[in-house]
Amino acid sequence: MRTDLKGKHLITTQDWSVQELESLFELAAELKQARKDGDATRVLDLKTLYMIFFDASTRTRNSFETGITQLGGHGIYLSPDKMQISHGEQAGDTAKVLSRYGEGIAIRHCAYGEGNAYLNAIAEHASVPVLNMQCDIYHPCQILADYLTIKEKFGETRGLKLGVAWTCAPDYLRPISVPQSLILMMPRFGIDVTLAYPPECKLMPQIEAKAKANAEAAGSKFEISHTFEDAFEDADVVIPKSWGPLLTTTDFEEGASIMRQYDTWVCDAERMALGKDHIIYMHPLPADRGREVTDEVIDGPQSVVFDEAENRLHVQKALMALTM
């Protein structure tokens, strides 16, 4: 199923066809098995990935840096304060220089209203693939790992119900990129998606409209509810995760006040019992224990969060191998 993806950017999964995404998942499974078997996969020998982090990271940095190493290449960690970005260097100039040195540029920039624009400015001028490690609109690599995990657990994905639910964690206003990427990609693979959030915590209307169009094209369902339990009812998979009411306000105090009104939106055993007997709990991590989810759920037999976290490594290795 391999397709020619060398040099292709990944800003959002919308830019890739289902066939191209299937090729990535196929390769990810092969690379995962090879690592389990102890087989070397140095397909990127001596190649370099530049990783620019505007925001802190645990899973993203370590999975990318470990992944490029296991593929025989080298990842270089960069932060804007240690680069000329902090002195005003234009995105186009950064892109052109790094393209002359290495074979890929990966960026994490989650500032609302800034991140995606910066990634696209880099991609416009880069002659190597630009990979989105999370921006303010999309988090494609997380959703690739989520899908691989679901596929491993269930095999056939068509007809599954996925509940994507907002949860209350008002310590900071988290990006909307994870739920937006989930609702965009999962319906393309035949998964029925129910998105539940308080009215003030809506997602970008153009993203919701595109998710609906994706579902219609694939013969799946996409529904929006303002009732928390609807995401769990008869679900095969749930991903309850907090995000800020950024389309309502970007002010922290105002946003946190809104979120605290919905402090009962917590994933617990009672809500999990609304799903099918085999329901699994997923979360991109870090989860705010006690506010997003109870320990009973995240540490219990229905939780696959660490399988999900591991799969970041495998899908990103496939992504790098195919594009670099």
Per-residue pLDDT tens digits for 194-213: 999 999 999 999 999 999 99
Residue 120: the pLDDT is 98
- For the chain, what's the residue count? 324
Residue 171: the pLDDT is 87
CA distances to 1, 53, 303 from 156, in Å: 18, 36, 20
- Alpha-carbon distance of 246 to 177, in angstroms, equals 11
Q: Residue written as tokens 């976290």?
A: 309
* Residues β-bridged to residue 75: 49
pLDDT at 219 over 80: yes
What lies within 8 Å, CB to CB, of 252 at 6+ separation is 172, 173
**Spatial contact of 293 and 270, defined as CB atoms under 8 Å apart:** no
Q: How many CB atoms lie within 10 A of CB 315?
A: 29
Residue 1: the pLDDT is 55
pTM of the model: 0.96
Mean pLDDT for the stretch of residues 137-146:
98
pLDDT, one tens digit per residue, over 262-292 is 999 999 999 999 999 999 999 999 999 999 9
Label residue 278 exposed, middle or buried (CB < 10 Å: 0-12, 13-18, 19+).
exposed
- Domains with residue ranges and CATH for the chain: 13-139+311-323 (3.40.50.1370), 142-308 (3.40.50.1370)
Q: HSE-up of 188 (CA within 13 Å, CB side)?
A: 21
Residue 56: the pLDDT is 86
CA angle (25, 28, 31) in 5-degree steps: 155
Displacement of CA 49 from its chain's centroid (Å): 19
Between 29 and 86, name the one with better pLDDT. Answer: 29
- Alpha-carbon distance of 135 to 140, in angstroms, equals 9
pLDDT, one tens digit per residue, over 79-113 is 999 899 988 899 999 999 999 999 999 999 999 99
- Alpha-carbon distance of 134 to 136, in angstroms, equals 7
Mean pLDDT for the stretch of residues 204-224:
98
**Over pLDDT 70: what percentage of the chain?**
99
The span from the first CA to the last CA of the chain, in angstroms, equals 18
pLDDT at 297 over 90: yes
Mean pLDDT for the stretch of residues 185-193:
98
Residue 224: the pLDDT is 98
